[in-house]
Amino acid sequence: MIKAGKAIWTKEAQIALEESKKYAERVEQIAFQNTLKVLEAFRQHQVSEVHFSTTTGYGYSDMGREKLDQVWATVFGAEAALVRHQFVSGTHALSTALFGSLRPGDILLSVTGTPYDTMQTVIGYSSPSVGSLREWGVGYEEIPLTAEGDFEWDLIGDALARDQKPRMVLIQRSRGYSNRKALTVSQIGDLCEFIHRHSPDTICFVDNCYGEFVDLIEPTQVGADLMAGSLIKNPGGGLAPTGGYVCGRADLVEAASYAMTAPGLGNEMGSSNLEQRLYFQGLFQAPHVVSQAIQSGIFASVLFQKAGFLVDPLPEEVRSDIIQSIFLEGPQKVIAFCQGLQAYSPINSHVMPIPSGLPGYSDEVIMAAGTFIQGASIEISADAPMREPYSVFLQGGVVFSHSVWALLSALERVRGDVGNSRNSVVK
Ligand SMILES: *Cc1c(COP(=O)(O)O)cnc(C)c1O
């Protein structure tokens, strides 16, 4: 063992590791079942090596692309899927799903409060951003969650009872970077049932980022009409080098395909310039990789709780996304955490993250992301806005045993408060 490793491996690390194993059992059971679910889809669709090859140009009759869509739809219990490396990010896939189904005069209603930062720009949330839904005449309304993280059933019922019913309801499963709980799939199921009972034509759309394979079933299996997410998060299994997906009802996925390429072209074009194996193999490995990420979150929760910090979720809590919040009480400790995590990352371990401004964020943000794939948050990484309550959002962890080392390094720096802010570097 290397010297630095010895120094951060403590008795309390051993205890935290033992304790977190208690909670791992449930996570491993889910991975066990989900692996079978994915395997059965591969068997049913007879995936073979020919589906891995690349194509060029228009990409007509691209066998790999078509097969991947079919396998994906089966895994997610959806009628159809659109899985593409041409999606530049999760936001792009989500935005495409919205623009595919919404028309001028329609109303989009969020029932999970303020959406994820990048989605606000797509919506034209606080200002009419160029190209936003607002600019296209799509109205937006929002109902927050209760303080307990429950739905405001009465308010949602009122919105669905009006003459002009919302065309689409936006449901964000993950906490994103807010301090609320992730919605469980069963909560989403209850909500979709309620919405369809009050307004059968309203589309239930789920932002499923960070949620895939955390539970045994997915929102599209409990009534969600449409769902989208990122391939450099859970379902890419750490192998997909870029991309996003949309899946759900066939007519809505088709509408999204026209928004993605062009009316009339839809899903029948788009060549596979990247070896498709990465997407198939990534999906195949995703249940296991997600279980590694959740176990990383659980270990972090145990370790930092024992060290005296507030954590959310608690170690024993059932999870519905892969995000772990740790409340670090002040800016110096947030910086120290991110620098400690980065220092024990495989890539750019020598780089020192510092807080800085980012487009679309009002506060400075610090990020630790020593990842093989740029910005991939299925790999262990952390983000923190430099504001109260000074929580870091930890996510990912493809290799649990690596996450343990990275988190011990983060704790050591937090303890020593040895983070370097830009100011202290300048001084
Ligand atoms: C990650 C994420 C997105 C999309 O983010 P990208 O960085 O564009 O992939 C959207 N919503 C939520 C809740 C997310 O976690």
The pLDDT of residue 81 = 98
CA distance 248 to 196: 15
Residue identifier of the C-alpha nearest atom 1 of ligand 1? 209
pLDDT tens, residue by residue, 309-328: 999 999 999 999 999 999 99
The pLDDT of residue 422 = 46
The pLDDT of residue 110 = 98
Residue owning tokens 């296991």:
288
Residue identifier of the C-alpha nearest atom 13 of ligand 1? 176
The pLDDT of residue 421 = 53
Ligand 1 centroid from CA 284, angstroms: 22
Instruction: List, in order, residues 6 or more apart from 229 with CB less than 8 Å away.
Output: 90, 93, 94, 207, 208, 209, 211, 212, 235, 244, 245
| % of the chain with per-residue pLDDT over 70 | 96
| Ligand 1 atom with minimal separation from the 175 CA | 13
pLDDT tens, residue by residue, 345-376: 999 999 999 999 877 577 899 999 999 999 99
| Ligand 1 atom with minimal separation from the 90 CA | 9
pLDDT tens, residue by residue, 169-198: 999 999 988 889 999 999 999 999 999 999
Whole-prediction pTM:
0.95
Ligand 1 centroid from CA 222, angstroms: 22
Lowest mean pLDDT among 30-44, 282-296, 353-367: 353-367
Residue identifier of the C-alpha nearest atom 14 of ligand 1? 209
Residue owning tokens 């997600």:
290
The pLDDT of residue 325 = 97
For residue 279, pLDDT beyond 70: yes
Within 275-418, residue ranges assigned H as helices are 277-306, 331-343, 400-416
Ligand 1 centroid from CA 336, angstroms: 25
Mutate to test the pocket of ligand 1, among 118, 324, 393 (most ligand atoms within 8 A of CB): 118
Ligand 1 centroid from CA 87, angstroms: 13
CA distance 184 to 166: 23
Contact 272, 241 (CB under 8 A): no
C-alpha pair distances (Å), 77 with each of 19, 44, 219, 328: 35, 13, 9, 40
| Ligand 1 atom with minimal separation from the 88 CA | 8
C-alpha pair distances (Å), 287 with each of 61, 128, 149, 235, 307: 29, 39, 27, 8, 30
Ligand 1 centroid from CA 118, angstroms: 7
8 band by pLDDT with thresholds 50, 70 and 90: confident
CA torsion angle 207 210 216 220 (round to 10): 20
Mutate to test the pocket of ligand 1, among 94, 112, 116 (most ligand atoms within 8 A of CB): 116
Retrieve residue 349's tokens.
């371990």
Average pLDDT over residues 332-347: 97
pLDDT tens, residue by residue, 86-106: 999 999 999 999 999 999 999
Ligand 1 centroid from CA 91, angstroms: 6
The pLDDT of residue 362 = 72
Average pLDDT over residues 116-134: 93
For residue 333, pLDDT beyond 90: yes
The pLDDT of residue 7 = 74
The pLDDT of residue 6 = 64
For residue 2, pLDDT beyond 60: no
Ligand 1 centroid from CA 416, angstroms: 33
For residue 424, pLDDT beyond 50: no
Strand residues in 123-277 grouped as ranges (E): 139-142, 168-172, 203-207, 226-230, 244-248
The pLDDT of residue 177 = 83
CA distance 128 to 121: 8
